């Protein structure tokens, strides 16, 4: 299992800022949420160990948020070097990127606000892995 920063770096490596395809901290947080949810539903275990919190603007991995907060609402640059992932991790991350990477940070915020895991969790509390797994399992089967 990787840490959430490694998964965040994998998403950042997929962005293409030179053509305006950027990732802000807000967008990155939502991509991490979707990756964790789908990994739990498909693999039965977390993609990363850190908790996801239900903040005002949607799901957030606090440590990753803090790491990139210096960029504010601006694009986060792609990290130097490679990111080592196994085949299943790559599938989840590239799948989430293909589906959700096309949306703006604010669209993703609106999407997560309409979904059960964020709606049913008190603000600033941990979104349980059981809730994530249940919600994303339903998405896959419907």
Q: What does the pLDDT read at residue 142? A: 76
C-alpha distances out from residue 98 to 2, 14, 48, 128, 138, Å: 21, 10, 20, 25, 20
* Separation of alpha carbons 9 and 104, rounded Å: 18
* Separation of alpha carbons 15 and 58, rounded Å: 21
* Separation of alpha carbons 133 and 39, rounded Å: 8
C-alpha distances out from residue 138 to 40, 45, 78, 141, Å: 12, 16, 33, 5
Give the pLDDT of the chain (142 residues) as one tens digit per residue. 899 999 999 999 999 877 778 999 999 999 999 999 999 999 999 999 999 999 999 999 999 999 999 999 999 999 998 899 999 999 999 999 999 999 999 999 999 999 999 999 999 999 999 999 999 999 999 7
Radius of gyration for the chain, computed over Cα atoms and rounded to the nearest angstrom? 14
Residues pairing with 126 in the sheet: 53
Render the burial of 10-38: b for 16+ CB within 10 Å, e for the rest. Answer: bbbbbbeeeeeebbbbbbbbbbbbbbbbb
Q: What does the pLDDT read at residue 28? A: 98
DSSP strand pairing (58-60 vs 53-55): antiparallel
Q: What does the pLDDT read at residue 18? A: 78
């Amino acid at each position: 299992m990787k840490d959430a920063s490694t998964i965040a770096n994998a998403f950042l490596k997929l962005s293409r800022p030179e053509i305006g395809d950027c990732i802000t901290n807000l967008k990155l947080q939502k991509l991490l949420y979707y990756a964790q949810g789908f990994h739990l539903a498909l693999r039965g275990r977390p993609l990363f160990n850190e908790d996801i919190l239900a903040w005002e603007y949607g799901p957030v991995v606090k440590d990753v948020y803090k790491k990139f907060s210096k960029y504010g609402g601006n694009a986060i640059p792609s990290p130097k070097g490679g990111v080592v992932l196994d085949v299943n991790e790559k599938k989840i991350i590239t799948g989430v990127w293909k589906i959700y990477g096309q949306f703006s940070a604010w669209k993703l915020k609106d999407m997560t606000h309409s979904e059960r895991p964020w709606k049913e969790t008190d603000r600033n509390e941990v979104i349980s892995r059981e809730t994530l797994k249940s919600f994303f399992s339903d998405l896959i089967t419907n």
